[in-house]
Chain A
Amino acid sequence: MAQVLTSNRLADGDVVYWRAGDWVPALEDAEVFAEESEAKDALAEAQLSVAANKVVAPYLFELRGDGRPVQEREIIRALGPSVRSDLGKQAYAPTLPGFAGHSYAGATRPLKGEVKNSDDVSI
């Protein structure tokens, strides 16, 4: 199965993906390893950026044939919380092939009772 290498940046915790020896923020830009050996090599190389205090605990995960991660966890990391479409990477741009929002209907609303502008609070 195809794999992608991911980590969180040390300084701000952001989710990042490996691409040609460096880290990029979007899963759609990540390097996809078709071969296990390529994936292992990238993981070994990424230890240098752990040692350089750039990222924390990199690891590999698997993609399905259509390019979506196998695990729900990685879909959520790539997009942001499934319950808040205004947060995380999904707030800026689609980061999954064919992405049209999380699968839960009605689950992607902003925080209930939230007032968009503090001037709107009638007190």
Chain B
Amino acid sequence: MYRYDEFDAAFVSERVEQFRHQVQRRLTGELNEDQFKPFRLMNGLYLQLHAYMLRIAVPYGTLSARQLRMLAHIARKYDKGYGHFTTRQNIQFNWPKLVDVPDILAELATVEMHAIQTSGNCIRNVTADHFAGAAKDEIEDPRPVAETIRQWSSLHPEFSFLPRKFKIAVSGASHDRAALRFHDLAVEIVKNDAGETGYRVLVGGGMGRTPYLSYVVGDFVARPDLLAFLEAVLRVYNENGRRDNIYKARIKVLAHTLGPDEMRKLIAREFAEIKAAGTLQVAEAERKRIAAYFAPPEFDVLSDETPHSADPDFATWLKTNTHPHRAKGYAIATISLKPIGGVPGDCSHQQLDALAALLDDFAMAELRVSHEQNLVLPHVRKKDLPAVFARLKSLGLATANAGLVTDIICCPGLDYCDLANARSIPVAQRISERLAARQEEIGELKIKISGCINACGHHHAGHIGILGVDKKGVEFYQLQLGGSAAEDAAIGEIMGPGFGEHEIVDAVERVIDAYLKLRRDGERFLDTYRRIGMEPFKNVAYLEQLHAAH
């Protein structure tokens, strides 16, 4: 993984002291809350319902054993013993004190971690495919590109007060595991007809109140030109993005108001000039320097045999939670943070420490954080899988449900979040408990739950999406069907009126029962929905309609 050099280390340390100074000025009143808020957000610090919340970046989702131990330490020393992994490769602590945050950041800096730009109207932490460097379908590891962008975007003098937040994702594989089409900007590593590697750039995706899928603005950006191209996009956005209405301020609104032709024209003009100036060229030497940090480990020559275990649960876990690796004799393993009936994405300090020990004991350098709020072991020797499974099982981390109906993406909702209108976690817990016994029969089905229109739980991209709303002080839940964040990206369609908190789980179950009756061989829920549409599901979801039909 990337290691800081002296410049990176000094930068992060100075940023900590800068924030310490900002906190002091807030506590003495030199800064009022309105003034302080953008600066604390740019360091990942929110004020939520119960307390402050600190969002720490896990750059492109990669964590070492040392970093896991530090996160466990912070959970114990400054928080309440656990952290929450989010949909953008961050970990959040829900209970830090403002006065402690500078010390937390200083401790994080010792393991090359930070909370820089994990919130605020700036370029957010850059995310990448969580199978980077391991996936069989990969053209190139996206993390060097993500790190290059991270450096360029850190305290960017021109783009730190954008109209709204700006999220970038990078992928180098044919399958989209990074929700590219839902990002403000996505970089896809591609090869052109001449066999050269370059970048396809998409702009204007997003969820929230008005969801959009992004479109291509750069078909093939040459390697040295990537930052010049991104700077061009950001300048077009900073100058033209709306600032009169917070709900229309994201680049998705600009991109879809102007349309692809006009957007491309504006970007091309800036790009030509920035490129001609030459100062933002990504030098091949620097690209290689960064890429070298992400060189794959030396893979042993191993047998590709499927391992066996006496534990009857192992076979199920092997089937659902391991994925093809590019090296023979290796596998990628998903560590589910979705125990049946548990809180999606939460991880205790004991689990964090134990995962660090797991990495050490099985000679693995890193683990990954996925946008689906799970963890990933990118390079597991197949022969180690039974022992790794046994260890995970003892930690409560071996739930065999990756990609299944209980592997639910869920925002913190009204249990923690100041913006939420309804709870999300209890809905996820009850769906998980209700459907766990049938999840293998149901097959791949992605449920995503948000507690408000901001869509942190990606409900627009769920095969089944659930949106919590407030109806005169009472929690209500809208169903959406047919969304996807993968390469077949789509925005889900709203079914109709919402369901009460005691109806929503039944409604979801009835929709799934209908799918089981209507599906053809091998069809996922999403495929069936795309074939037959909303009507058959709507007809069973609402009890009144069900009764009327009988």
Contacts and interface: CB of A to CB of B under 8 A. Distances in A.
Interface residues of B, number: 51
B26 interface: yes
A112 B430 CA distance: 14
Interface string B372-413: 000000000000000000010011110000000000000000
A83 B426 contact: yes
Interface string B24-59: 001111000100000000000001111110000000
B541 to A, nearest CB: 22
Interface string A64-88: 0000001111001100111110011
A100 interface: no
Nearest to A122: B394
B475 to A, nearest CB: 6
Contacts of B422: 72
B414 A104 contact: no
Contact of B28 (A53, A73, A104, A121): A53
A112 B353 contact: no
Contacts of A109: 341
A107 interface: yes
Interface string A82-123: 111001100000000000000010110101111100100111
B473 A112 contact: no
Contacts of A112: 339-343, 396
A95 to B, nearest CB: 12
Label chain A's interface by main secondary structure.
Answer: loop
B348 interface: yes
A86 to B, nearest CB: 8
Contact of B473 (A70, A76, A80, A106): A70
Given A72-B423, A76-B414, A121-B395, A111 B343 contact: yes
Given A81-B50, A82-B426, A111 B82 contact: yes
Contact of A73 (B49, B51, B80, B391): B49
A121 B341 contact: no
Label chain B's interface by main secondary structure.
Answer: mixed
Interface string B313-354: 000000000000000000000000001111100101011011
B400 to A, nearest CB: 14
A50 B32 CA distance: 9
Nearest to A116: B350
A51 interface: yes
B354 A123 contact: yes
B111 interface: no
A13 B51 contact: yes
Contacts of A73: 49, 414, 420
A53 B32 CA distance: 8
B47 A113 contact: no
B357 interface: yes
A48 interface: no
A106 B433 CA distance: 10
A50 B423 CA distance: 29
B302 interface: no
A10 interface: yes
A115 to B, nearest CB: 5
Contacts of A104: 426
B97 to A, nearest CB: 4
B396 A13 contact: no
A10 B48 CA distance: 12
B415 A118 contact: no
B276 interface: no
A46 B18 CA distance: 30
A46 B199 CA distance: 55
Interface in A3-56: 8, 10-15, 50-53, 56
B350 A11 contact: no
A113 B475 CA distance: 29
Given A53-B26, A82-B415, A111-B346, A76 B49 contact: yes
B425 A114 contact: no
A37 to B, nearest CB: 24
Interface of B: 26-29, 33, 47-52, 80, 82, 95-99, 339-343, 346, 348, 350-351, 353-354, 357-358, 361, 391, 394-397, 414-416, 420, 422-423, 425-426, 429-430, 433, 473-475
Interface of A: 8, 10-15, 50-53, 56-57, 70-73, 76-77, 80-84, 87-88, 104, 106-107, 109, 111-115, 118, 121-123
Given A11-B98, A82-B426, A106-B341, 16 more contacts: A8-B47, A13-B50, A14-B50, A15-B49, A53-B26, A71-B473, A77-B49, A107-B429, A111-B82, A111-B342, A112-B339, A112-B343, A113-B342, A114-B82, A118-B353, A123-B358
26 contacts: A11-B97, A13-B47, A53-B28, A56-B47, A70-B473, A72-B423, A72-B475, A73-B420, A76-B414, A82-B423, A104-B426, A106-B341, A106-B430, A107-B426, A112-B341, A112-B342, A112-B343, A113-B342, A113-B351, A114-B348, A114-B396, A115-B348, A118-B350, A121-B350, A121-B395, A122-B394
